[in-house]
Chains A and B, each alone.
Chain A
Amino acid sequence: MATMKAVVLRKPFEVVVDEVERPTITDPADVLLRVDLTAICGTDLHPYDGRIELEEDVVLGHEFVGTVVEVGSAVNLVSEGDRAVASCVVSCGHCRNCNRGRPGQCAGTRIFGLGLTFGSLSGGQAEYVVVPNADLTLRKLTDEGAGNDEDKLFVGDIMATGYEAVRKVIRPGDSVAVVGAGPVGLCAAMSANVLGASRVMVVDKVAARLKEAEAIGAVGIDASVTDPTEAVQDLTDWRGADVVIDAVGHPSALLSACALVASGGSISIPGVYLEDSIDIPFGDLYLKGVSIHQGVANIINYMDETLALIAAGKLDPSRFISHRMPMSEATEAYRMFAEREATKIVLDPTR
């Protein structure tokens, strides 16, 4: 049995780097990748802190780029030796929702590194990973244009997610408020710049993250110092923001989003919610005619757009990487990311 090193979640708060069985191709549409770079995502924190319950010993990770080492017989778009980035969400490509352009709501949605519930796909924080439906899930990387593999790594998750959240609701000239300056929120803010926002405001309490937002031209609003509602109202002539992105996934953030949104505006929610119910000011939202968009991101719909914008030098999400660490230090990396000591961590599986 061939083995490999991988980041394993034994149980909540217990992340170890262990020798596990190396996954193999089982379907003609599969590709086996040798992982070159992999990142820790806010979504990994949900099983890490037990908010999403997984079975024991799951190989984590759903953000990765790698080199193709083996291709199934039905794969046409990549070959051995190609570098490629994978969508973190794997869809079937032919169910009703896939046909309606909603791969995030595919009847058979699978997500790498999230256990049985999401299709038992072994995660990308490992030396090797098997990518199903590879022609649909992977995008081949080239060296043309601006951007490097660290930028393209994020097209499989946070970049496409943040971009979609803004892209499906914005009109050029809109004001955009992003709640949460985590990697997803920062990618949303960066996308808003590219998609024609007149002003971008980012709310968080973590100073280092707000600094990243300000560095790309957004107004940072520190919720531990100022009331974000007042701040956003003041910046928008009391209208509120036309577009509000909840890039957190906590009821406090959703309530904040409801208070920030302008009449006729939209709330777009990439943040993950699992609550049975949440009290929100529904009458106010109704009377303001606010639209709400949410759900697992339709990553594959936006990978080509974000890759093109990276190549054009207009998106450069690698700037948000605060730490590059050997994968062998994953235990410490998870602790740092969970404590918000790091904004974004990229792991090197070869070390």
Chain B
Amino acid sequence: MGYFADANEVDKYIGGVFRAAAEHPESGPKFRSAGINLRVLYTDPDVEMWVLMREPAMEVTTGPSDETADITLMMRSDTGDKYWRGEYNLAVGLAKGEVKAKGPVNKILKLVPLTKPLFPMYRDLVADKDAAQA
């Protein structure tokens, strides 16, 4: 079985880390000024997640949206979990086809480094769930 029990958990933890990022004193402003609409299609469990990085507030939602995506990513939810723990090499994932991406490459390059400071926040978020499963 995968790490997440259902779509709600994907939203709670992975959506959660983006929401936490919005509140983060250093990362928050950087994400908002990126001006990128990110859509991530997680599979197994299936969740369509939208992260609208813009002023005045970053929005994180699940389900279809009328927005247009600058970048669309597709990966298994478990891959998302590994990524946010800092245990997944995105470049290798793209090469293997485990992660698929579309959208301007320069925008993707701008986005990826912003996520690194969030890895510890993600691990904090999932700590309880990890403990419960152990």
Contact = CB atoms under 8 A, between A and B. Distances in A.
B112 interface: no
Contacts of A237: 100
A284 B101 contact: no
Prevailing SS type, chain B contact patch: mixed
Contacts of A238: 74, 100-102
Contact of A287 (B100, B102, B106): B106
Interface in B34-80: 74
Contacts of B25: none
A287 B101 contact: no
B106 A284 contact: yes
Interface string B86-129: 00000000000000111011110100000000000000000000
Nearest to A288: B105
Contacts of A281: 104, 106
A281 B106 CA distance: 9
Interface residues of A, number: 12
B43 to A, nearest CB: 14
A239 to B, nearest CB: 9
B102 A283 contact: no
Interface residues of B, number: 9
Interface string A210-241: 00000000000000000001000100011010
A288 B100 CA distance: 15
A263 interface: yes
Greatest chain B CB density within 10 A among A240, A263, A281, A284 is at A284
Contacts of A233: 102
Interface string A93-129: 0000000000000000000000000000000000000
A281 B107 CA distance: 10
Contacts of B74: 238
Nearest to B106: A283
23 contacts: A229-B102, A233-B102, A237-B100, A238-B74, A238-B100, A238-B101, A238-B102, A240-B102, A263-B105, A281-B104, A281-B106, A283-B104, A283-B105, A283-B106, A284-B104, A284-B105, A284-B106, A284-B107, A286-B106, A287-B105, A287-B106, A287-B109, A288-B105
Interface of A: 229, 233, 237-238, 240, 263, 281, 283-284, 286-288
